[in-house]
Amino acid sequence: MFRREFSKLIGAGALTSIIPSRSLWDLKKVGKIGIQLYTVRDAMEKDPVGTLKTIAAMGYDDVEVAGYKNGKYYGMTPKVFKSILNDLGLSVKSGHTLTGMQDMSAVGTPLNQFERYAEDAASIGQDYIVLAYLLENEREKLDQYKGIADLLNKCGVTAAKHGVKMAYHNHDFEFMEMEGKIPYDILLANTDESIVDMELDLYWIEKAKKSAKKYFENHAGRFSLWHVKDMDKTEEQFFTEVGNGVIDFKDIFTCKKKAGMKHFYVEQDKCKNHLPIESVKISIDYLQGMRY
């Protein structure tokens, strides 16, 4: 059954050459390897269970969800979703959300009955709920970032009642100077570090020509989550599989203790040269062999 499901996702081929034995993975290399399910979003929409089976077989141990809506994960109740993950040996320590402004009728967003998400997140084992992205009309002025910081703090208080912590995931626009200041610095300065962490996207900070290592040094311990995605060698600086680009992950991973990193997730927003399920296989192959 599993082999048939996997073949549907990646096409015909020798499965033994694609899926390594999990026993070959040395945890002392980089630690547990997670995946942001947004990367395989189309496959998750069509066949969530089959897709989760596939990524578990590749060696991923942890998933970060991007499919929570109105009390369900990818159309499944939290209890059913958690049961499937348990059966596959997968944990779920983090999940993304948007503010809710794009759909004010949605329940469980920071702007609408957020406690619903906090309760569901806690029930499946999430330690973090991450604000993933700001719409353009949510970040037109610097004061809006101060408002986002306030929203993160407010949600952080609610989440903390359920043993969950808030976090913020960046793109490149947060590092672009606005009114003489860097919006990302506003978020760091105006959020309560006891209830709000940061999920640093290593691709986007590189795209913004800022140094992740400097932020780790200046704000030690705040970056409990990382997104690990690579940048290709073209002028476009497009997304690529981890290890196929220009970002020095071996160097960055030496700073994980200073950063406070607890979990990291492979993510590739768009896949140009491979199917997403193939891209995440290439990325985990590199990470499994990485030493630092």
Give the global pTM. 0.90
The arithmetic mean of pLDDT across residues 165-178, rounded, is 98
Tokens encoding 161: 């009642």
Tokens encoding 144: 């809006």
Asked if residue 10 has pLDDT above 70, the reply is no
Q: pLDDT tens digits, residue range 88-142?
A: 999 999 999 999 999 999 999 999 999 999 999 999 999 999 999 999 999 999 9
The Cα-based distances of 216 to 4, 93, 280 in angstroms read: 44, 22, 26
Distance from C-alpha of 151 to C-alpha of 106, rounded to nearest angstrom = 17
Tokens encoding 249: 């992950």
Asked if residue 6 has pLDDT above 50, the reply is no
Average pLDDT across the chain, whole number: 91
Which DSSP state fits 173? G
Tokens encoding 222: 């705040």
Asked if residue 201 has pLDDT above 70, the reply is yes
pLDDT range class, residue 31, cuts 50, 70, 90: confident
Note the pLDDT of residue 290. 84
Q: Can you state the percent helix, strand and coil of the chain, rounding each to 5?
A: 45, 15, 40
Which DSSP state fits 28? T
Residues 6+ apart with CB under 8 A from 264: 30, 31, 33, 34, 225, 226, 227, 228
Q: Pick the closest to residue 49 from 95, 110, 90 (CA basis).
A: 90
Distance from C-alpha of 24 to C-alpha of 22, rounded to nearest angstrom = 5
Coil, strand or helix: which one is 157?
helix
Q: Which residues share a beta bridge with 81?
A: none
Tell me which of 22-26, 68-72, 118-122, 152-156 is least confident: 22-26
Q: pLDDT tens digits, residue range 43-88?
A: 999 999 999 999 999 999 999 999 999 999 999 999 999 999 999 9
Distance from C-alpha of 197 to C-alpha of 149, rounded to nearest angstrom = 11
Cβ–Cβ < 8 Å for 239, 268: yes
Asked if residue 4 has pLDDT above 60, the reply is no
Distance from C-alpha of 223 to C-alpha of 276, rounded to nearest angstrom = 26
Distance from C-alpha of 65 to C-alpha of 86, rounded to nearest angstrom = 15
Characterize the bridge pairing of strands 230-231 and 165-169: unpaired
Characterize the bridge pairing of strands 165-169 and 128-131: parallel
Distance from C-alpha of 217 to C-alpha of 219, rounded to nearest angstrom = 6
User: Residue 56 — φ and ψ, nearest 5°?
Assistant: -65, -40
Coil, strand or helix: which one is 134?
coil
Distance from C-alpha of 178 to C-alpha of 200, rounded to nearest angstrom = 20
Characterize the bridge pairing of strands 239-240 and 230-231: antiparallel
Distance from C-alpha of 169 to C-alpha of 229, rounded to nearest angstrom = 13
Select the CATH number that applies to the domain covering 2-288 from these four: 3.40.630.10, 3.20.20.150, 3.40.50.720, 3.40.50.300.
Answer: 3.20.20.150
Q: Where are the domains of the chain?
A: 2-288
Distance from C-alpha of 240 to C-alpha of 207, rounded to nearest angstrom = 13
Q: Return the percentage of the chain with pLDDT > 70, whole number.
A: 89
Tokens encoding 266: 């492979």
Note the pLDDT of residue 163. 98
Q: pLDDT tens digits, residue range 257-280?
A: 999 999 999 999 999 999 999 999
